[in-house]
Structure 1
Amino acid sequence: MSLFERYLTVWVGLCIVAGVLLGHLAPSVFHAIGAVEIAQVNLPVAVLIWLMIVPMLLKIDFAALGEVGRHWRGIGVTLFVNWAVKPFSMALLGWLFIGWLFRPLLPADQIDSYIAGLIILAAAPCTAMVFVWSNLTKGEPHFTLSQVALNDAIMVVAFAPIVALLLGLSAITVPWGTLVLSVVLYIVIPVIVAQLLRGRLLAHGGQAALDGLLARLGPLSLVALLATLVLLFGFQGEAIIAQPLVIALLAVPILIQVYFNAGLAYLLNRATGEAHCVAGPSALIGASNFFELAVAAAISLFGFTSGAALATVVGVLIEVPVMLSVVWIVNRSKGWYERTAEAGKIQPAD
C-alpha cells in the first residue's frame, strides 16, 4: 500500500474541511457545478468517477474467471456473503439504527435518504482495494483475482435489481431510469473501456505497458476521489456543521456491517475447509465496499445534497482504518484458523 493510500482517511478528512470552507466562501461556484447535468447525472462528477473507476478496472483480468473452480468453496462463500447477506444485513441495520434507534437525533426529512445511501454502499462489493488487503494478508493471488472478476461480472446485472428491491422495501420511490443509467455509466461502460484498453496495452506492450499506465493513473484516480469529496462537502457543509453527530451515527451501522460480514465469511471458509490464504481475501471482499460506485450512484439517484450521498461518503471516511483492523485480525488469528482439531475436523483445501 502506498503512503497516499495508507493515509487515505487523513486526506479524506482534509477534503471535508476544504469542501466545507469552500462551500461557505464560494457557494455560487458549487451551485453552478451542480447544475451541469443530463438526465439527473451530474457531468463533472461523472468525469471524476470515471477517472476513479477505470484505472481500478484495468487491473481486472476477466480471463481469471477460468480459475474460479480451483477454490470453489471460497468463491461460494464470497458470493453468498456479498449478494445474499451483505445488502440485506445493511438494510436491516439501517432500518434498526437510522430508522429507529437514532431517529430522534437525525433530520427527519433525511432518514429514508440515509438508509438508501447505506443500502447503495453495501450493494457494491469492493474491487481494486481488495488487492491491497489481500496482499497484506498473504492471500492467494489467483483466488483474489478470480473472485474480484466474478463479482464485477455479477455486479453488472445484479446491482440495480438489488438496490431497487431494497429501496422499494424501504418505501423509497425508485427512479428506475436514473438507476439503470447509473449502472451503464459507472459499471458497464467503464468495464468495456477498461478491458479494451487493457487488451490493447497487453497486445502491443505487454505487462510492462499495462503496469506503466497503472502507475501513472493511480495517483490521478485518488485525486479524482478527493476532488469528488470536496464537491460533496461543498454542498453538504452547512448541514454537517449544524449536525456533526450525523457522521458518527451513520458510521455505526457501517462498522457493524463490516465486522459482521468479514467474520461470517472468515468462519464459513474455515467451516468448509478452505485454506487461510483464501479465507483472508474472501473475508475482506465481503467486508469492504466499492465506494466509488456507491458515491456516484447516490449522487445520480438523490443528488449532491442528499443524505444518501453523505452516507456513502462516511463509508469512504472509515474504509481504510476499519479494513486495516480486519487485516490485523485475519493475520493474528492465522494460528487459530489453521490449528487442526484432535479429530482432524478441519483441513486446508488443496
Structure 2
Amino acid sequence: MSISKKVKKGGLKQFLAASVLLAGSVIGSSALADVSVEWTSPADGSSYPTGTDVVLTGSASATGTVGQGMDLALVLDSSGSMANRRSSTGVRCYTLSATCKPIREWQQEAAIALVNNLPDGVAVSIVEFDSDANLVTGLTELSTDRSATLAAINSVDARGSTNIGAGIDVALAELTGANSHADFAQQMVVFSDGYSAGNPPAAAAAAVAAGVEAIHSVALPGASISTMSNIALRGNGTFIDATGDLSGLTALFSGSGTSLVGVDSVEVTLADGTTIAVPTDAFGNFSLSAQIAAGTNSFVATAFGTDGTVDSDTLTLFGTDGSNVSPVPVPASLPMFAFVLAIAAVVRRRFLKK
C-alpha cells in the first residue's frame, strides 16, 4: 500500500530514510509541519489518591494542530462498481470468501476500523456519493452513539455512477454547518474506486479555503490515481493507494500502520522511568492507563515524525494519602465577610445592653 505525504522543504534525506522503514512506499503529498505532541487529559497538576488507576490521553500530529477535538467526515463511495469483487491484493475474483469480497465491504471494514479506534471526543459524519451525494448521518460525538455511526457505514450501498466532488461538497456543508464545533479541527477521508464526473480536486481546494484542515484520500481498486492523489494534494491531506493492498487499510485505520498525520511512533516515559511504546490511531491520538504513586508522578510523551522531527510534552500528577491534600483556598471576599459579621455582633451586644 502506497501512502503519500508532501516532503518538507529540506527534509528529503530524512524522508527517504523514513520511507525505507515504513511498510509500503511513502512518496511525497500533504504539507506537514514539525511533529508535535500534547497531553490532553487529565489536567496537568491534578491530584489523585495513591494507587488510583488513571487513563492518560494525548495527541500527536505533524499537521500543525494538536490537543484539539476533531470533526471528521467519512466520504464513502456508493457507486455501482463498488459491488465488484476483489481479492485482498486488489485482483478481480469471483468466489466469495474472507479474501474475495465486494469492494464495498473492504471500504466498510476500513471505515469501521477507523471509527472503532477513534477516541470518544471525536465527532463523525458519514456521507455517501454516487451520481449525487447524501448525508447519511450528521456529526455525532462517538461518546454519544458510536453504534449509530457504525450502522451508517454499513448502510452504504452500491449503485449509480461516481461524483466524488458532490460527496466532498456535502461533507463540507456538514463540517462548517450548525453541527460543527468551532474549537475542533475539521477533516475528511474520501474513498473511491472509480473515475469521477466533475473536478474533485477543485472541490477539495474549495473545502480547504472554507476552513477544512485536511482532506485525505483513499484509492480503491479501479480508481483514478491522478484524481485521488490530487484530492489529497489540494486538500492538504494524505493520499493512500490501496489498489493493491486492501487488507492494509484496516491496519492503517486501526493504528497498527502509518498515521495520516505524519506520526511514525509515540513513546511514553512513565513515572518510574520505564519507557513504553504506545499505539496511536490514524490521527495520532493515544491513551494508556497508569497507577498513581505517592508524591510527584511525571509522564513524558515523545512523538517521532515520519520526517525525522521529534517533540516531547510532560504531564505531572500528584499522589496523595489523604493527609497531604492541599487546603481549599479561602476566597478573597471571605475575610471581609467575617469582618462585617464581627461588627454586626458588636453592634448587637451594644443594642442589648441598652
Per the TM superposition, whether the score is higher than 0.5 is no
| Structure with the higher fraction of residues in strand conformation | 2
TM-score w.r.t. the length of structure 2 is: 0.24
| Structure with the higher fraction of residues in helix conformation | 1
Structure of higher CA gyration radius: 2
